[in-house]
Amino acid sequence: MTVFSGLTVKVRIMLILGSYIFGIIGMGYVSYDYLRTTEEKTTLLELAYNLNNIILEARRYEKNFLLYFKREALVENHRYLDQAADTQELILARVGKLKVTPMFREFGEHFAAYRAGMREIEEQTGGSGAERQLSIDRIRELGKRMTDLSEELVAFERDRIHEIIRLLKGQLVVWSAMAFMLGVLLPWVLVFKIFRPLRIIRRATDDIAQGRFNRIEVVDTNDEMQQMMVAFNTMVQELERRQDQLVQSKKLSSIGTLTAGVAHQLNNPLNNISTSCQIAIDELAGGDRAILERMLANIEQETLRARDVVKGLLEFARAREFSLRPANLGELVQRTIRLVQSQVPAGIEVTVDIPHDLIVPMDSQRIQEALLNLVINAGQAIVGQGRINIRARHDEERGGVELTVSDTGPGIPEEIQGQLFDPFFTTKEEGQGTGLGLSVVYGIIQQHHGNIGVVSEPGAGTAFVIFLPGTVPGQQGHEK
């Protein structure tokens, strides 16, 4: 395909179609010319064949006249010679500069000599027998040569017709082969240079619609299709960057939401530390060692408790690249609950049912962000008392983990369930939500090549069901 190097797809297709069209026109013109020539040759062959038959008839009456000297035979001979002359004129009007012209001229010379000889014999009524016999021998020789030339003329034209037919067959084979090659080349260009790249791009756009920003393999077509694929990969890279910005933005929003709750969680251990310090100071004078040790142990426990709260918030806030690593799902859920528990009203119970050895290849930070959004949404959906249940199980059939976050809230109407994961869609009042929470959750799950769905009926609560692939239960060396 070096002949097409550097040409656009449009130019390539136009060249192939142009070659195809001009090839068909050329084949049609050449075939028409051959057929026209064959038609002329067929007409000439018919005339030559008629001329040969006329000469044979003339010679037959010539023999009768020379044998019996009947006047009727001579009249018939002259009549046939007149017909031969007429036919000769018709042939002369057609031969022009054809290869048969020299042969036909020779025939004309012998024909003229033969007619003159017949007239001489007719006029030699009082001549000697030797002179008359000499004229008869000459007539017979001219007649034989004239007959041979007419037969050669017929054979020559017949052979020319056969040659033209053979050439026409060869041309048809060549043109058919070229047409076949062009017919194969055009679909090849369409399939491999247009349809294949478009099919790759279509699959990639389907992946983007599912939240998977996969770059595509750039096909080396050296045309605008290759440029389009390069531009598509640039677009995917930019979408990944924007999605990361969106996730980080939502995370910062979540951090802002959690800050007040974290302050409340830190206030309790700090109060306990302060009280324990006061008691310890009061007991210094009395020297009650047991009370001092108990207060110091309480201070250490509350300090560790405060450290865990701050550590969990810092880990959640830390930005890092997407990375799949084996992690304990149960421990991740417990860390998430500790972060979000201040956002869950007191009348709502949070229960966890996850096997302690369930290890999942995941980006812990992003899965934690998804869980945090789901738990906060569940807590906001419940009015009064209720329950949020987080459970997970190993799905051996699909080779992964099914994680479910359910609540006992009022449920979600069926007509809006299909819009839940759309960006900026929210059922909350204006100013109460951005509509990005579930969209971010959906994107995170798609990044993990998993899927998320919703099961809900009005009055029966809501359950978000997540599937994460590649679970290895009991795998060691997981992230903590």
Task: Show the domains of the chain with their CATH numbers.
Answer: 2-196 (1.20.1440.210), 223-319 (1.10.287), 322-480 (3.30.565.10)
CA distances in angstroms from 131 to 69, 75, 116, 119, 145, listed in the order given: 16, 23, 16, 14, 21
Query: How far is 270 from 218, CA to CA, in rounded Å?
Result: 59
CA distance readout (Å), 399 to 65, 358, 405, 454, 470: 114, 13, 20, 21, 6
Q: How many CA atoms lie within 13 A of 9 on its CB side?
A: 19
Question: Burial letters for 439-475: b for 16+ Cβ neighbours within 10 Å, e otherwise?
Answer: bbbbbbbbbbbbbbeeebeeeebbbbebbbbbbbeee
Quick one: pLDDT at residue 213? 65
Nearest-CA neighbor of 350 among 282, 405, 280, 313? 405
pLDDT per residue as tens, the chain (480 positions): 444 555 666 676 777 677 777 777 877 777 788 788 888 888 888 888 898 999 899 889 888 888 877 888 888 988 998 998 898 888 887 766 567 778 888 888 888 888 888 888 777 655 557 777 888 888 889 889 989 988 888 888 888 888 888 888 887 888 778 777 777 776 776 666 667 777 777 777 777 666 566 677 776 666 666 777 788 788 877 776 776 666 656 555 555 555 555 555 566 667 768 777 877 777 776 667 777 777 787 787 778 766 766 665 565 555 567 788 899 999 999 988 887 777 788 888 999 999 988 999 998 888 988 888 889 888 888 888 899 999 999 888 888 999 999 998 888 887 777 767 766 555 554 434 444 567 778 888 888 888 888 888 888 889 999 999 975 444 433 343
Residues in a beta bridge with 350: 388
pTM of the predicted protein model:
0.45
Q: What is the DSSP letter of 432?
A: S
Alpha-helical runs (H) found in 287-328: 289-317
Rounded CA separation 152/85 (Å): 18
For residue 163, the model assigns a pLDDT of 87
Q: How far is CA 466 from the centre of its chain?
A: 33
Gap between the Cα atoms of 377 and 371, Å rounded: 10
- DSSP alpha helix (H) spans, 189-223: 196-209
Q: What is the pLDDT of residue 125?
A: 57
Q: Which residues, in sequence order, are CB contacts of 94 under 8 Å at separation 6+? A: 40, 43, 44, 47
Sheet strands side by side (includes 462-469): 348-353, 386-395, 400-407, 462-469, 451-456
